[in-house]
Amino acid sequence: MTTQGRLLRAEGLTVTFRIPGGTVRAVSDANFTVRPGRCLALVGESGCGKSVLAHALLGLLPGNATVSGAAWLEGDGEPVELLSAPPAVLAGRVRGRRIGLIPQSPATHLTPVRTARAQLTEALRELGSAQRADDLVMRYGLRPADLDRYPHELSGGMAQRVANAMALAGDPWLVLADEPTSGLDRPLVEKAMGTLRELCDEGRAVLLITHDLRAAEQVADDIAVMYASRLVEQGPAARVFARPRHPYTAGLLAAQPDREFAPIPGLPPELTRLPEGCAFRPRCPRADDACAALPAFGGGVACHHPLETADA
Amino acid sequence: MLEAKDVTVAYQRKVVLAGVSLAVEPGLVIALSGPSGCGKSTLARVLALMLRPRSGQVSVDGVAVRGWRQRADRRLRTSVALIYQSPRQAVDPRLTLTEVIAEPLAANGRPDPERVRALARETGLTEDLLTRRPHEVSEGQLQRACLARALSLEPRYLICDEMTTMLDASTQALLVGVVDAYRERTGAGVLAISHDTVLLDRWADRVIDFTGPGVPAAPAATASTPDA
């Protein structure tokens, strides 16, 4: 796959929702880049805003959302700014064609009253793809006969494969995988991660959104850690897992059952009532008065007192 | 001892468990691991007296179970608590978290607001969350309330059926810590069901592989089984 000039670059991406009695800050000032051949995993606990970020990129936010900043999709001619692009551009030139979505819980994403084949064939036709449904699903480890089943007749792993085939029907170079492993058991998680790795190795870019650190570690080249709507740490996966710099990243890693298995004290803040300054301050062992001010992002981390690393 | 002997369960003609025996000892964490669809959750429901097996016996501390679901002896039924994978499907959406936790105490004629507050503290739920309804809290916060509810009647046995599968690492570590503290304090037995062998290796005293000998593999499917 030619990857000339292709990348996704988010600059100051911010999403808020108006709700009765307040404003939810779901994504605050996110900056990141996704490149062909690489997998960026966006990790964080449930409710931190990571899925909202994915939906913002695809123009799939509900009507009460306000978006600011920019998300440039470059390559293939004129760059497209995803946040301000008209719906017709997103529908006709972006979704399915340049960005494919692997959804959370594929079994419920499929329409229950139509067979997998009917849905995949429709996707191929709408996208003007010359590929045949049978060939496409065989690439993802399904038999053509499996396509004649209804979604409720598919196991979790089979539904996952159908969803993969649908996401890739239009041969997009960027794949967004939004919690693709929720509800799958561990061997299936590993298979799903293996598939994402293959997509990278074919020259596609993958943005993986997950709360599952072990899954992220298996496939990601780069990690971005999100806490209370902000990216608090970014870096190469090997470095972040071995030598985290943000105390929140360190806490998440320490909570793994094969590490200290100790929880981070306290609860994350409400996105309707984010504290001034560093949102992690009330739970942070390193916090002091300096943390009343919002830490700037620098050196891969947004923290006034980052953990030192050997090569820092 | 919470014990299942030679238990067989079938949904219509599909046999899900065939002659399965399992014992959960007081004070220990026994883990059950195995792929999706192998019958782990069915066995959990049998042991929690919520599903009558087609044949076989279940006993709680030596007392044979004769009734199931609402016909189960109240003392036996409340000595086993079950925590599910999805807290959202396990609570009444109309109740506040306080009411969710208080429900079993109230249903057993022993309302105890002080104990409800203590359980909330134990599971790390803050005051402002307790007045909310399920749709106003996160999955992890709701699961904390479900664990508090499960502990409210001081069960002798606790069955955690994929309790932390949907949750982040920190919440998982917290909930497992609460279960372990309860087990150490009361000597309760724990059955931990999960497909996460890393978690089970860390948590359990003994791991039983549910596709091993004496236990049937998942029924042979008629079509391809790419998950195997």
The answer, for B201 touching chain A at a CB cutoff of 8 Å, is yes
With 50 as the cut, is the pLDDT of residue B219 above it?
no
Long-range contacts of the stretch A111-114 (C-beta < 8 A, 24+): A111/A151, A112/A150, A112/A151, A112/A152, A113/A150, A114/A150
- Testing the interface with B: which of A42, A153, A154, A155 to mutate, by most B Cβ within 10 A? A155
**For residues A21-39, average pLDDT:** 95
> What pLDDT, on the 0 to 100 scale, is given for residue B227?
40
Kindly determine whether residue A266 and residue B139, on different chains, have CB atoms separated by under 8 Å.
no
With 50 as the cut, is the pLDDT of residue B217 above it?
no
With 80 as the cut, is the pLDDT of residue A107 above it?
no
Interface of B with A in 92-111 (CB under 8 A): none
> What pLDDT, on the 0 to 100 scale, is given for residue A2?
65
Higher pLDDT, B214 or A246: A246
Confidence of residue B228 (pLDDT cuts 50, 70, 90): very low
How close does chain B come to A230, measured CA to CA in Å? 17
Kindly determine whether residue A155 and residue B37, on different chains, have CB atoms separated by under 8 Å.
yes
pLDDT tens per residue, range B14-53: 888 999 999 999 999 999 998 777 888 899 999 999 999 9
pLDDT tens per residue, range A218-241: 999 999 999 999 999 999 999 999
With 90 as the cut, is the pLDDT of residue B13 above it?
no
Confidence of residue B137 (pLDDT cuts 50, 70, 90): confident
Kindly determine whether residue B224 and residue A145, on different chains, have CB atoms separated by under 8 Å.
yes
Interface of A with B (CB under 8 A): 44-47, 141-143, 145-146, 149, 155-158, 161, 182-188, 211, 213-214, 251-253, 255-258, 261-264, 266-267
> What pLDDT, on the 0 to 100 scale, is given for residue B39?
85
Of B171, B198, B227, the CB nearest to A155: B227
With 60 as the cut, is the pLDDT of residue A22 above it?
yes
CA distance B99 to B144: 13
Q: Are B188 and B156 in contact (CB under 8 A)?
A: yes
> What pLDDT, on the 0 to 100 scale, is given for residue A310?
52
> What pLDDT, on the 0 to 100 scale, is given for residue A15?
96
- Least confidently predicted of A108-112, A202-206, B27-31: A108-112
With 60 as the cut, is the pLDDT of residue B213 above it?
no
Strand-pair category, A7-19 with B14-24:
unpaired
Of B35, B174, B202, the CB nearest to A185: B35
Share of chain A above pLDDT 70, in %: 98
Q: Are A282 and A251 in contact (CB under 8 A)?
A: no
**For residues B148-155, average pLDDT:** 97
> What pLDDT, on the 0 to 100 scale, is given for residue B212?
43
pLDDT tens per residue, range B60-112: 999 999 999 989 999 999 999 999 988 999 999 999 999 999 999 999 999 99
> What pLDDT, on the 0 to 100 scale, is given for residue B223?
36
pLDDT tens per residue, range A268-297: 998 888 999 999 999 999 999 999 999 999
How close does chain A come to B205, measured CA to CA in Å? 14
B11: which strand partners?
B14
> What pLDDT, on the 0 to 100 scale, is given for residue B218?
40
**For residues A45-74, average pLDDT:** 92
> What pLDDT, on the 0 to 100 scale, is given for residue A6?
95
Domains of chain B: 1-79+156-228 (3.40.50.300), 91-154 (no CATH)
**For residues B186-215, average pLDDT:** 86
> What pLDDT, on the 0 to 100 scale, is given for residue B214?
46
Contacts of B173 in chain A (CB under 8 A): 255, 257, 261-263
With 90 as the cut, is the pLDDT of residue A155 above it?
no
> What pLDDT, on the 0 to 100 scale, is given for residue B109?
93
**For residues B205-215, average pLDDT:** 72
> What pLDDT, on the 0 to 100 scale, is given for residue A1?
64
Higher pLDDT, A47 or B63: B63
Contacts of A211 in chain B (CB under 8 A): 167-169
